[in-house]
Structure 1
Amino acid sequence: MKIKYLYIAFVFLSLGSCKKFLDIVPKDKFIPSTVEDYENMLNYATVSTYGDYFEDLITDDAFLPEGQPGNLYTKQRLSARKIYTFNKDVYGEGDNDILWSEGYKRIFYFNTVANNIMKAQGSTEAEKRSIRAEALLGRALEHLMLVNVYGKHYDAATAGTDPGAPLVLEADISAKNSRNTVQEVYNQVIADAEEAVKDLPLKNKISKFRACKAGGYAFLSRVYLFMGDYANALKNADLALGLQNELANMNGYNVIVPGPFPNDPNIPGAPLGWTNIPNAERHPESLVARTNLRPFGLGMDVCATPELTSLFSNNDRRWALYFANAWPPAPPFNYMDRYGVKIFLRGDYYNNCLAVPEVYLNRAECKARANNLSGALADINKLRLNRIVPAAYHEFTPADFNNDSERVLRFVLEERRRELVFTGMRVIDLKRLNKETRFQKTITHVAEGVTYTLTPNSPNYLRQIWPAASVFNPDWTLNP
């Protein structure tokens, strides 16, 4: 009987009554049957979250000061402290690995829609295909996140044998699933995304928590960038930006509340968080919106490292709007005075999924790697024009970097780090860049007097498969 529940021990922790979607109709349970039923599943709050904000604690961006006042290390839950100290065995069998359980829960919803919508009652075939496309993109997003947390980074030479994550393509909690290889997961992710972009709507339905065609191309650009296929990453970035390329000028935003607490979300247009930056749903840069399960992510819980701090200037509006010298506001504990760093306070329900800036950064990196230095810097200049105080803005040219392609590429990667800070992207960027000797780096964190080291390509980059799943699947290969 244990095999029946395979990896999906998460069902008992997070799905509860998911058996309502099986072929036997339970009494007094809702069974989707119409197009409207399935479309409403894509509007559930369940599928509006994404990722695991604690994963950023493994990176060279995260610093957790100790001691009172201002302690940020011991206040963390045990699992977060394990991530920060590079312990891959983050969760025990009785703990809930939220990234795994919530990720596969969302996949269950997406599979229910994708596999049944074409047989649903009502509407047109075109509308059904559009809804199915959104579900396929959602499934692809989740599988890509899972394979990059639990598996090695994609390497064409080894991906065919490297253990990845289980591919779950049916809404059947009793199905037996294997731990698929990294290559198999990437193949399915690309297949789902390529199928999705054919039918995704040009505009998001209802809100930006629903998908659109530009979001589909943006996702494909991300996938191919992760794979090191820069030609296809560039092609899809162009397609995405051809449909949506608007950037918001951050010089128009301000700190309005001294702390990361939301104003009334029921008031139309009311800002959420300590700035008046629009939330994920309203932000003009959002392509496909999602938020962390805990809306503020690591807000109030982490400081920038000294290295990350050095990459920002006081003329960078991201530094002013996402970080603060002190917290809490009364009486304040000043991290800048004590440690020379700022605390991350981004609390505006920000989008941690797919947005226009990442696409510009994808394209810039691809251009830089192809020695198109002017093209790469044009994309970075456009982004920075909307991020830097006008009086300090400088339009970069290849001459600023002595026409050196590697210096331009490193500048592009620095800009990527600044723009995507604490959105869950840095750990994947570290893993992929560690595949190149020139970008390899060793990360150190200090906690309770002990120095912890994470070397390039270390197996400790890989989170161990959740014991609540692997215990029912003794045939699965565990991470080393």
Structure 2
Amino acid sequence: MNKKIFSVIIGLSCCFSACSDWVDVKTKGSLVPEETENYRYLMNNTENFRWTLSYHDVASDDIDISDPAQQEAIYETNKFIPVYTWADEIYSQSENDTEMNKVYQVIYNCNVVIDEVMDSKNGTNEEKLEIRAEALVHRAEAYLTLVNVYGVPYNAATASTDQGVPLLTTPRVEGALPRASVEKVYEQIFKDLDDAFEYLPDVAEFNFYPGKCAIYALRARAYLLMGNYTEAKKNAQEALKLKSTLENLNDYVDLASTEESVRRKNYVETLKDKEVIFAKMPVTTFSMASYSTAGLVLSDNLLNTFDQEKDLRYFYFTRSMIDDLGMTYSGRVYFKDNYYPYDWKKNEGRNMGPCVPEMMLIEAECWAREGNTTESMNIVNKLREYRYVAGEDYSLSAATAKEALGNVLQERRRELTCHGLRWMDQRRLANDPDFPTQTVTRIFKGTTYTLEPGAVRYTFPMGEKYLEENPEIGQIK
């Protein structure tokens, strides 16, 4: 008896029925593939491909909601609470994991294109290969994120047997759904990126589309998470050869003004952000514009790493809930999502995909791990120049490789706050000899929760509904 693919895939018809507003997409099965341009229209619709996971930001040690009044105000039905407290169960047997659903829908859409576009009509072979390549890169990004949230952290010695995530590479909706090993998932990620490379431009015209730069960047991120610093550095450098522009925060801030809209100007929308290499939007946003009780309140542990007088990232991207927002809750929230209205038509919202600063910091970390403190600090300081108040001293120095690595890791944490990467860093650094992940403790509504380095809850649990429908997935314990 064939099993239905878990509810991640159920309802995918809505993905394609929604497309009827802009193109008549015809796919295999009861319908026959036709025009190549249909697949181009499908790839052009950002709603089908732009999503990536975001709840793991809440689980990271960058977030700390310690105000009792705010804790009480968070809705019990909000998944923020079980994620924040590292619960063994996040989604019950009656609930869908909306974040996983959205990302597997991206994968399904990619699989349709990959499986069918080469047989479509009235398009050149070059056009078809480019469309297929774009879908391959989107699929690779989706699996890289999924395996680093729902799979066991990468360990070269055990990756061939460690449990990853279900690996779907064809547009099927029935059949068994076992987890692939972490190694198999990474192999598929690199295969997809390699297969796509030849057919894409160096840099895409719009950062939603992948180019060779995005492929280098995703490889760099993947190799860093694997602990392969040689390949991570090489790919980060190649990405930066193709795109290395930075936004200067001084262009968005006028500290001399008393008018708030001038003191903090709206940030450029994601599609126009010079730093973004491959735009990916969070499924869940935590905007404070509507006075949400479940905002991304930043931990003192993170905030204390900023130079709070000179670092514009502190002034611009974080806001005091009491002093700046007039709320009754204490603490500072990450505020970038609030500088523009969240409008999917404009593809706005904070970027979770690879960006120029991430590539710079990957290269800097790898230089530090090789013992080259000069190269490492030069890169870090080049970035900091664009983040500090003009004319203020921004430079860092390091006398040893260990000191350089510490500087880079702290800069990475400041620069990439709420980009979905801190949780992945906590996973990968669990056994780092110099800067191991620390135990994290939280008190929520009077109960103390503790997350030890390497704990099983560094892997998000699968929804109980999916395990009931497809028990072969299994729960990692």
Residues 198 and 60 (structure 1 numbering): CA distance in 2 closer, same or farther, change over 3 Å? same
Per-residue displacement from partner, 1:210-248 (whole Å, max 9, x unpaired)? 112111101100011111111111111111111111111
Aligned AA for 1:420? L
Deviation at 1:166, TM superposition (A): 0.8
Aligned AA for 1:464? P
Q: Within 1, Cα distance between the matches of 2:363 and 2:191?
A: 22
Q: Within 1, Cα distance between the matches of 2:212 and 2:322?
A: 41
Per-residue displacement from partner, 1:174-230 (whole Å, max 9, x unpaired)? 24332100010011111111222222222324x321112111101100011111111
Q: Within 2, Cα distance between the matches of 1:76 and 1:221?
A: 39
Q: What is the aligned partner in structure 1 of residue 134 from structure 2?
A: 134
Q: What is the aligned partner in structure 2 of residue 436 from structure 1?
A: 432
Q: What is the aligned partner in structure 1 of residue 107 from structure 2?
A: 107
Deviation at 1:318, TM superposition (A): 1.1
Deviation at 1:98, TM superposition (A): 1.9
Q: Is the aligned partner of 1:359 residue 2:353?
A: no
Q: Within 2, Cα distance between the matches of 1:88 and 1:107?
A: 26
Q: Is the aligned partner of 1:427 residue 2:423?
A: yes
Q: What is the aligned partner in structure 1 of residue 85 from structure 2?
A: 85
Q: Within 2, Cα distance between the matches of 1:281 and 1:97?
A: 28
Residues 48 and 100 (structure 1 numbering): CA distance in 2 closer, same or farther, change over 3 Å? same
Q: What is the aligned partner in structure 2 of residue 326 from structure 1?
A: 321
1:462 aligns with one of 437, 456, 459: 459
Map 1:140-289 onto structure 2 (within 5 A): 140-205=140-205, 207-254=206-253, 275-289=265-279
Aligned AA for 1:443? V
Per-residue displacement from partner, 1:238-274 (whole Å, max 9, x unpaired)? 1111111111111111389969xxxxxxxxxxx9xx7
Please tell me whether the aligned partners of residues 48 and 289 of structure 1 are also in contact (alpha carbons under 8 angstroms): no
Q: What is the aligned partner in structure 1 of residue 39 from structure 2?
A: 38
Deviation at 1:386, TM superposition (A): 0.7
Residues 36 and 287 (structure 1 numbering): CA distance in 2 closer, same or farther, change over 3 Å? same
Residues 21 and 228 (structure 1 numbering): CA distance in 2 closer, same or farther, change over 3 Å? farther
Moved more, 178-187 or 70-79: 70-79
Please tell me whether the aligned partners of residues 197 and 217 of structure 1 are also in contact (alpha carbons under 8 angstroms): no
Residues 183 and 169 (structure 1 numbering): CA distance in 2 closer, same or farther, change over 3 Å? same
Please tell me whether the aligned partners of residues 53 and 298 of structure 1 are also in contact (alpha carbons under 8 angstroms): no
Residues 53 and 24 (structure 1 numbering): CA distance in 2 closer, same or farther, change over 3 Å? closer
Q: Within 2, Cα distance between the matches of 1:444 and 1:15?
A: 43
Q: Within 1, Cα distance between the matches of 2:234 and 2:281?
A: 27
Aligned AA for 1:313? D
Residues 62 and 78 (structure 1 numbering): CA distance in 2 closer, same or farther, change over 3 Å? same
Aligned AA for 1:94? S
2:296 aligns with one of 295, 298, 302: 302
Deviation at 1:121, TM superposition (A): 1.7
Unaligned 5+ runs, structure 1: 260-270, 336-340
Per-residue displacement from partner, 1:348-367 (whole Å, max 9, x unpaired)? 41211121111001111111
Aligned AA for 1:285? E
Deviation at 1:377, TM superposition (A): 0.9
Q: Is the aligned partner of 1:453 residue 2:453?
A: no
Please tell me whether the aligned partners of residues 46 and 208 of structure 2 are also in contact (alpha carbons under 8 angstroms): no
Residues 15 and 461 (structure 1 numbering): CA distance in 2 closer, same or farther, change over 3 Å? farther
TM-score, with normalisation over the residues of structure 2? 0.88
Aligned AA for 1:302? L
Please tell me whether the aligned partners of residues 7 and 96 of structure 2 are also in contact (alpha carbons under 8 angstroms): no
Q: Within 2, Cα distance between the matches of 1:73 and 1:342?
A: 17
Please tell me whether the aligned partners of residues 65 and 72 of structure 1 are also in contact (alpha carbons under 8 angstroms): no
Q: Within 2, Cα distance between the matches of 1:77 and 1:110?
A: 32
Q: Within 2, Cα distance between the matches of 1:18 and 1:88?
A: 34
Q: What is the aligned partner in structure 2 of residue 23 from structure 1?
A: 28
Identical counterparts, % of pairs: 28
Please tell me whether the aligned partners of residues 140 and 193 of structure 1 are also in contact (alpha carbons under 8 angstroms): yes
Aligned AA for 1:58? A
Aligned AA for 1:287? I
Deviation at 1:22, TM superposition (A): 5.5
